[in-house]
A and B are shown apart, each in its own frame.
Chain A
Amino acid sequence: MYAPQTTTMAPEPMMPFPALITDIKEEAPGVTTYALEFEDTAVRQSFTFQPGQFNMLYLPGIGEAAISISSDPGQPETLLHTIRVAGNVTQAIARLDVGDVIGLRGPYGSAWPLAHARGLDIIMVAGGIGLPPLRPAIYHIIHHRQEYGQVTVLVGAREPADLMFPGEYDAWREQGIEVLPTVDRADDSWEGRVGVVPMLFYSLRPDPRKTMIFTCGPEIMMRFVVYEALARRVPKERIYLSLERNMKCAIGFCGHCQFGPTFLCKEGPVLSYNQIEPFFSVEEF
């Protein structure tokens, strides 16, 4: 008989690779950035990612969480992940120190359409923890500044202390990126705008023929962003959102992250509004 007696097994695609925590930086109350480097040199050197993609972070015995990459795609050997403590895994990560090792696999998912955005103006709208997934796109634009038109970053947070990466805004501005922060509730130190992020649209005059929108943040905020963008006649297919669902496997096998026809781990998390429009307003969908 020519058939083999036993079968063989390819490596399990959900196996993580050990990665070293090389730096930890507190960004805001409850939000921390972890710098990770794969322990294996070959894995580290072959890893590349695109802005908007995410990795799966694994702690043996605790579990796995999908976390977007918040660092410069030009420096993929050190991967930054900006994490808000929310569930089991993020709580456990919060107890780790520099020198500890966690499991890492990726990158997964779709990216911000930076190639399609060449020659266009870009308005990025981030609410709270929504800025970290956009930061790699900002870095990419800085590296290729002449390829893009006007770039505006609207950043919102509940309170001034919750703003993500405020120390970098001036550096971004020096690269010709307009950064407009706003907070829901000001304190004595705050001299900037007060109000929800979509309100920042009121001061913009985007040219609908050449504007692209990238937004990431609470779903309610993104609804208003879509509303404001459509009101300014930005076409649906140039409004991009980063959505969130319960991602377990990140490779389209577990079914948890489905949003209508899309697996957010594969076709998402970054999707254009025209891809999701029929389902975006359906309750409990």
Chain B
Amino acid sequence: MTPHIPPLNAHVVIDKPALQTLFDALQTAGYTLIGPTIREEAIVYDEIGRIEELPIGWTDEQGPGHYRLHERGDGRYFAYVVGPHSWKKYLYPARLTLFRTRRQDKSFTVETGEEPPPKYAFIGARGCELAAIAVQDRVFLEGPIQAATYKARREHAFLLAVNCTEPGETCFCVSMNSGPRCESGFDLALTELDDVFLLQVGSQIGAEMLAGSGWRPAGAFELSHARRLLAEAETQMGRTLETRDLPNLLYDNLDHPRWDEVAERCLSCMNCTMVCPTCFCADITDVSDLSGENTARVRVWDSCFNPDFSYVHGGNLRPSIRARYRQWLTHKLASWIDQFGTSGCVGCGRCITWCPVGIDLTEEVAAIRGEG
């Protein structure tokens, strides 16, 4: 029997509990489901299997250096924005063995570092996060050399995206043109309405996963309701970032006194770079046993705020916090565009929320622009 599946690009609705049938279909198809769930007083990304593990009825209150969970008292599944984790946790793991060597006589052999990774289904990726994945695609897949470990994770990843209807206090995706609506790069894009989920079918496999969901074509009321929610969301951004001529603004102000001021506050603790969904800097280091016979070459997340980051024999090229913050911000907002044809910032606001002292890059840029 041919399963009953919707056509590509169709808009369909399912009852909210039917989301479980989608989870089940993905698991049957061999996917490991990763999605939002509550842990350590935050909404993190972790392995899930059932819809009850989603933060149903919860929301997040965010501000500079501030994050708190609150119960909403309703049954909303996706009424929060992005948390401390991003999908790079899975696509670009914080710690990964690239290869192993084993000494043999005077020579050595080289073996692959890890088993092929699982197929991931990412549940609840937001517009800014799809944009962030697209940014990392450019870094790791669209240059002359492809990052094998990233590719193996990325090319089979299933993306169930979610349109943001309630942006947070540190969100500015509208400024970065990355949300709140998910425009492309998803298998399914979900908009949460009062009683149902509206789903846009973005791929054949996305359509197939809906076979057992009891989907029906979306009606005009549901479509217009979703449009209205997203239009409202666009006006509710907690922050804005003026991007006009941003690269030149920063390049022309490399000696601006604002760098000294932000260095007074910046802890050089690296949190902004760790929570950023596009930051990709890594260190590659050897882990060997006492005999030195067996060595693993391991890649770990690194940061331009790490004192060791810019060390060349003889010294650190960026010893001051000022120079490190300037490197980070100019890379993110200016040189990234030269390097990859896109901004390194997607407006998710994580670096603002998770900075322990609440440094806000939109404020820093405005100050350099003379609007502070």
Residue ranges of A at the interface with B (Cβ–Cβ < 8 Å): 1-18, 39, 60-64, 86-87, 99-101, 103, 244-246, 248-249, 251-256, 258, 260-261, 263, 266, 278-279, 282-285
Q: How many whole Å from B370's CB to the nearest CB in chain A? A: 20
**Interface contact A9-B119, CB-CB below 8 Å:** no
- Asked if A261 contacts B335 (CB within 8 A), the reply is yes
B: residues with CB less than 8 A from A are: 28-30, 98-99, 101, 103, 106-108, 110, 112-114, 116-119, 139-140, 143-149, 151-153, 155-156, 205, 208, 251, 254-255, 280-286, 288, 292, 295, 297, 302, 304, 309-314, 317-320, 322-323, 326-327, 330-331, 334-335, 338-339
Pair A284/B149 contact, Cβ less than 8 Å = no
**Chain A neighbourhood of B286, CB < 8 A:** 60-63
Task: Kindly name the residue among B99, B319, B322 whose own CB sees the greatest number of chain A CB atoms within 10 A.
Answer: B99
A18 pairs with B255, CB closer than 8 A:
no
- Chain B residues positioned under 8 Å from A18 (CB to CB): 107-108, 110
Among A2, A6, A248, contact of B119 (Cβ-Cβ < 8 Å): A6
Contact at B139–A244, with CB atoms within 8 Å? no
Given contact pairs A10-B151, A12-B113, A254-B282, enumerate 7 new A-B contacts (beta carbons under 8 Å): A6-B119, A13-B146, A18-B110, A60-B292, A253-B282, A260-B330, A284-B322
CA A258 to CA B144, docked complex, whole Å: 17
What residues of B have a CB within 8 angstroms of the CB of A260 in the complex? 251, 330, 335, 338
**Would you give 24 A-B contacts (Cβ < 8 Å), ordered by A?**
A3-B119, A3-B205, A4-B119, A4-B156, A6-B119, A7-B116, A9-B112, A11-B112, A13-B147, A13-B148, A14-B99, A18-B108, A60-B288, A62-B286, A86-B313, A100-B106, A101-B108, A244-B312, A248-B282, A253-B280, A256-B281, A260-B330, A284-B317, A285-B318
Chain B: which residue is nearest A17 at the CB level? B110
**CB-defined contacts of B148 to chain A, threshold 8 Å:** 9-13
Give chain A residues whose Cβ lies under 8 Å from the Cβ of B284.
Answer: 14, 64, 248-249, 254
Nearest CB in chain A: distance from B291 CB, A = 9
A283 to chain B, nearest CB (A): 8
The list of the 6 closest CB pairs from A to B, nearest first, reads: A261-B338, A255-B281, A284-B323, A61-B288, A86-B313, A5-B30
